Structure 1
């Protein structure tokens, strides 16, 4: 028997590969997912032995359907139920929102169907442009914390800015402030020395879904891309800026980094707190004590209406993508989108094309030079049909644009972690703040128009004449679009 296996080792491996591949293909077919994605997986499984199986097990599993992210303990908490009730709008608040939104009320109704996305009214916000502005405010708020600090980030590095943040966390923990920190195990880099410092200072910290060579399955794909900071339950941060030197523009920067973040004071912070606690419940794998102090009553005189939309394997629906689609479909005057990764699904492409064709001013800013070769070429493959429909596309050339924003008709705007790609829409954990406020929309619109001055518009006629080899690279990269 052993001799037979030795003599036919590779044949046995090939047979085993295709037996598993056939099983995977049947599974993909039965899921009835997007046909393009289905065909992509079938081609890879059929034509690339072994490699195809690796790709499938890394990217093909649907955790939203398998419900491995259990949130029942958190959702059923009496304290959270009480906090949710306290956010219910009074009649005068609802009338005020109706006046602001006019016929954009459909967007609110979409997310209000989810108990996790209540519409909050009593909020004060500051839009923070670029990392150097965000970290100045964040460090001040962290230093002023008296009760608790909750941090959840895709990228936390113990480089210069990261060490400044971590130093404050350690100091606060030593002084009796509760500090909890969750970081994605793929995106973050913390040295053993820093982890030891955190432990000795009393900072509770856990990696999100650790990836080990012995357990490399779909866990390397479903990453926590959220960026949340909650301070004393009153101040919250959400947006595109991770904790790393890459996001700060100073004299030592080699690349200008254009990004956007949001600081919130008010009721919407309770929703950010909820999402942090659900993640914390998952990463610690233990019951968490939910305290009343996590959800304090805040006195806020401002009335910026905000919904916090989260999506990922822990949500039943692709909430952020649905919100974006609804906003695009309801636009009457303009849609201005900034994203570092633009690899959209058919629904988003069609919605943008229809909006442009009926006269809506649709503009898109993407990086001129991406940090991913395959993502940049995949993005390029989507641009021509959009421009043919009248969408104006600009490539940011001052540096790298990482902001993830959209503003529509000076009524609706969103800032968050979600890119315009399949990974953000359907695979990773993402979170966005949806704002219904004229003043904030005008600020984002003004910044968008300012960014256009540092961008190059793509001319359709010139774009069509680009080298055939470039088109081939784009077509090849687009084959991977459902998995990027």
Structure 2
């Protein structure tokens, strides 16, 4: 019997090392950032067995065969729809400013989506303002309502939104709601899910989490977009999930989440509607492309363009990351960034440092307290490089700053769902808006200034004196970059 146990032990060890060797070879042969590959190798070797399991679960972009096949089949029909936007009089190539013209070329060449003029943008900055505005627009809906969110959490005004949707469905409005399975698991367990379906709302659980799928699809690939489209006339997007912050994560110790949404009217609404249709078809197989935007409208001479930039599996790789890099390289005076989760890739880190080193004023505003302890420590691992390059870092102490925004030269901005981490920029379904509108950008910059006033600036001389304890945890959690 001892010989059998001895044999099984040796066989197990041998099998494990063959498995490790195979995974190592796969990591090395995959074409991706060297820093990501090295981080994965360290995870695999430092944490036996668990490291290999983590790589199988989170190491590669795997949408699942059915969804991946759909995405490939969809690309050309949706591409044709997007390319038709170039014939719309809202695409004014001669009127594009310095910042957005190159982004328009990039997005047009890679996905066919041009920047469009003739939009009206309203920046909404408080939960009550956002949710009451959404409810009011839902109550005016006559034909259709499309929604996609990462998190829908019951409670407070979020329940009033659900009630308004149910009433809209009962009066004959076609309502389609797509929610991420992981982010909205509490909602799907609540009575609201059944009430919506009973009212005739098409409620779909996106990227469903199941123990049977753990090796068939990457579990941390999530539907992270936040989009509302009503009658193809009004749209919302931004950083806020469908939650009332007073009823959400109250026991996390980080305070209420601080978010924004943008209410949009004009041609860009139809583009956001098409992004929702993309997500809907990836998940359900049902194609329902929206109408093209009205192209006989009169576009004011001084109308400022908005570029919709989506990313995610099936779409051109790293499009939002490219737009972000391009925008910062064009900065002439200042770059100000707000993000809740700051775990950048080596390339993005280098872009931020280079921008500061060429004399541009670069400011980074992130939460002092984070709902992810790993992200909090990993973020601080980048402080020394950033501070030594001249980047000013502010730690916001008024709640969990969840706003995702970049303001360039106080003239141009990026706002949307995208965090400054590899998961958002390389993996998830995301969307951001590139806006070249001085009035709107000034509003965004003023809001960012209010965040700075509620923040504490990190002093480089004090930072260099931090304890070995802090340095250890910074480096430790930095190793888990690929999982953050």
Normalising by structure 2, what TM-score? Answer: 0.91
Contact 2:356 2:362 in 1 (8 A): yes
Per-residue deviation, residues 107-152 of structure 1 (Å, max 9, x unmatched):
3322221234321111111111132221111111111111000000
**What per-residue deviation string (whole Å, max 9, x for no partner) do you get for residues 397-442 of structure 1?**
1222110000101221011010111111111111101101111111
Aligned-pair CA distance for 1:213: 1.5
CA contact (8 A) 2:396 2:455 kept: yes
Match of 2:207 in 1: 209
Aligned-partner Cα distance in 2 for 1:168–1:91: 33
Q: Provide the residue aligned with 2:313 in structure 1.
A: 313
CA distance in 2, matches of 1:465, 1:164: 50
Distance 1:323 1:396 in 2: 26
User: How far is the alpha carbon of 1:74 from its aligned partner?
Assistant: 4.3
Are the equivalent residues in 2 in contact too, given 1:5–1:12 (CA < 8 A)?
Answer: no
* Counterpart secondary structure, 1:255: coil
Distance 1:175 1:407 in 2: 42
Answer yes or no: is the 8 Å Cα contact 1:64–1:312 preserved in 2.
Answer: no
Partner of 1:23 in structure 2? 22
Deviations along 1:66-86, one digit per CA (max 9) or x if unpaired, are 9826335544449x8457424
Q: How many angstroms apart in 2 are the aligned matches of 1:401 and 1:346?
A: 24
Is 2:201 aligned against 1:196? no
Offset, 1:270: 1.4
Which residue does the alignment assign to 2:128?
A: 132
The 3-state SS of whatever aligns with 1:452 is: helix
Once the two structures are TM-superposed, the CA of residue 287 in structure 1 deviates from its matched residue by 3.3
1:107-186 matches, within 5 Å, as 107-186=103-182
CA contact (8 A) 2:306 2:436 kept: yes
Cα RMSD for the two superposed structures: 2.8
Compared CA separation, residues 83 and 30, structure 1 to 2 (3 A): closer
Deviations along 1:176-206, one digit per CA (max 9) or x if unpaired, are 1100111000100222532221221000011
- Find the residue that maps to 1:410 and give its secondary structure: coil
| Superposed displacement of residue 300, structure 1 | 7.2
TM-score w.r.t. the length of structure 1 is: 0.91
Q: Kindly tell me: are residues 346 and 47 of structure 1, through their superposed partners in 2, closer, same or farther at Cα, counting changes over 3 Å? A: closer
Measured in 2, the distance between the counterparts of 1:9 and 1:205 equals: 50
**Range that drifts further, 26-35 or 371-380:** 26-35
Matched-pair contact (CA < 8 Å) for 1:241–1:247: no
The question of whether the paired residues in 1 share the 8 Å contact of 2:150 and 2:223 is answered with yes
Local SS of the residue matching 2:177:
strand
Change (3 A) 1:103 1:87: closer
Distance 1:222 1:300, change over 3 A: farther
Q: Is the 8 A contact 2:141 2:231 kept in 1?
A: yes
Distance in 1 (alpha carbons) for counterparts of 2:245 and 2:91: 45
Alpha carbons of structure 1 residues 202 and 90: separation in structure 2 relative to 1, 3 Å: closer
Report the CA distance between 1:260 and its aligned residue: 1.6
8 A Cα contact 2:343 2:378, kept in partner: yes
Q: Residue 111 of structure 2: SS of its match in structure 1?
A: coil
Say if 1:358 and 1:64 are closer, same or farther in 2 by CA, change over 3 A. Answer: farther
Shift of 1:222: 0.7
Q: For 1:69 and 1:448, locate their aligned partners in 2 and report how far apart those are by CA, in whole Å.
A: 42
Judge conservation of contact 1:233–1:296 (CA < 8 Å) in 2: no
Contact residue 367 and residue 401 of structure 1 kept, 8 A:
yes
Shift in alpha-carbon separation, 1:273–1:369, aligned structure 2, 3 A: same
Q: 1:170 to 1:17 in 2, by over 3 A?
A: farther
- Distance in 1 (CA, whole Å) between partners of 2:156 and 2:365 is 30
Name the CA distance, whole Å, in 2 between partners of 1:406 and 1:423: 18
Counterpart mapping for 1:421-436 below 5 A: 421-436=421-436
Provide the rounded CA distance (Å) in 1 between the counterparts of 2:341 and 2:364: 11
Q: Structure 2 stretches of 5 or more lacking a match?
A: none
Q: Which residue of structure 1 aligns with residue 286 of structure 2?
A: 287
